[in-house]
Structure 1
Amino acid sequence: MSVLILFSLMGASPPAFDIANRTVAATFHAEGVQIYECKPGTNGLAWTFSEPVAALFEDGKTVGRHFAGPRWELDDGSLIKGKIAQTAPGATPADVPWLKLDVAQNANTGRLAPVTAVYRINTRGGALQGPCSMPGQLRSAPYTADYVFVR
């Protein structure tokens, strides 16, 4: 199944990602948080993205995790690290952006071994913006998304 077909089945309109000639290796639903830290910015203190922490689900079962790097690790030993290649806005300002991430490192084992790119789509929540009052303060924003791993 191509990524374009997958986007259509999920009822979402795909952003301008280059998805031609891609084959889906795996798709997982993620539930977790986006963690932000209060840091000085050009207009005073502001929330700055720090890291994601999420569980990956397939058929209602936890099969792995998503964490800082950004990295994805499955129960079968698969581990990949991504690098953001492209972004598109989420459906609302409260939703983190959709992303295309190229695989920068791969443990070359398990289901994620052939993966060359990851798409984060169908995001809900996770965005945190605006001022904060204490440098170093952490805050989390719950989010869900679908991660599509392609080769």
Structure 2
Amino acid sequence: MFIRSLFTLVALALFAGSAIAQDIPAKLAPVGKGPLVGKYAAKGVQIYVCSAKGSANEWDFEAPEAELIDARGRLFAKHYAGPTWEALDGSKAVGKVLANEPAPKAGAIPWLLLSTQSSGSGVLGGAHFVQRVNTSGGVGPTGACPKAGTEQRVAYTADYIFYK
């Protein structure tokens, strides 16, 4: 409970300096975007798995695992492989990367623009675009990894902005 409350405070602080105040590169702007669904702070991990590549082992991105929190500090959705965002009402959006931009913060995963296919009649139903901005952390390990199948989870935060 304390962790959830602490995360809520962090999420609210993230919104104070989130995408509203940030410059989002033009190439990450959705073309013909519809109405804004919402902006959500995410906290979670980027999962990397050690894979055999010839005579060496290398880290490969596997999937994200995060929770998205709304401006009031309530859980909005879960984010997982696909990439998929699943709202509490059961509606889903599955993304495909259209554009990326290096994060302005060192050691942070890139900012993205994704097109989405959505399902369900809930809040994410009809969502067509997602932006991932204001990232922190999440960059995968570098160099050879110890053994194929080894997993490493790297903490990250980001803001996700959904458009219809």
TM over 0.5: yes
SS of residue in 1 equivalent to 2:28:
coil
Whole-Å Cα distance in 1 between the matches of residues 154 and 64 of structure 2? 10
RMSD: 1.8
| Pair 48,93 (structure 1): closer, same or farther in 2 beyond 3 Å | farther
Query: Which whole-Å CA distance do the structure 1 matches of 2:83 and 2:156 have between them?
Result: 15
Q: Distance in 2 between matches of 1:19 and 1:72?
A: 18
Partner of 2:123: 111
Among residues 39, 43, 65, which one is paired with 2:78 in the alignment? 65
Picking from 56, 62, 80, the partner of 2:93 is: 80
Aligned counterparts of 1:110 and 1:133: Cα–Cα separation in 2: 44
Q: Per-residue displacement from partner, 1:33-83 (whole Å, max 9, x unpaired)?
A: 000001134793221100000011012111210000100011112111111
Q: Paired residue for 2:23, among 13, 38, 41?
A: 13
Amino acid aligned to 1:134: K
Structure 2 alignment gaps of length 5 or more: 1-17
Percent identity of paired positions between Structure 1 and Structure 2: 33
In the aligned structure 1, how far is the partner of 2:141 from the partner of 2:46? Answer: 12
Deviation for aligned residue 1:114: 2.2
User: What is aligned with 2:66?
Assistant: 54
Mark the CA change 1:44 to 1:92 in structure 2 (over 3 Å): closer, same or farther. farther
Count matched residues. 143
The TM-score with structure 2 as length reference comes to: 0.80
Q: 3-state DSSP class of the match of 2:148?
A: coil
Matched, 1:44 2:67: no
Aligned to 2:156: 143
Alignment check: 8 A CA contact 1:79 1:109 kept: no
Q: Which residue of 1 aligns with 2:14?
A: none
Structure 1 residue 20: deviation in Å? Answer: 5.0
Which 4+ residue blocks in structure 1 deviate beyond 6 angstroms? none
Alpha-carbon distance between aligned partners in 2 of 1:130 and 1:150, rounded to the nearest angstrom: 34
Deviation at 1:119, TM superposition (A): 0.5
Higher helix share: 2
Long gaps (5+) in structure 1: 1-5
Distance (Å, rounded) in 2 between the aligned partners of 1:43 and 1:13: 43
What is the alpha-carbon distance in structure 2 between the residues aligned to residue 88 and residue 43 of structure 1? Answer: 32
Whether 1:34 and 2:46 are equivalent positions in the alignment is: yes
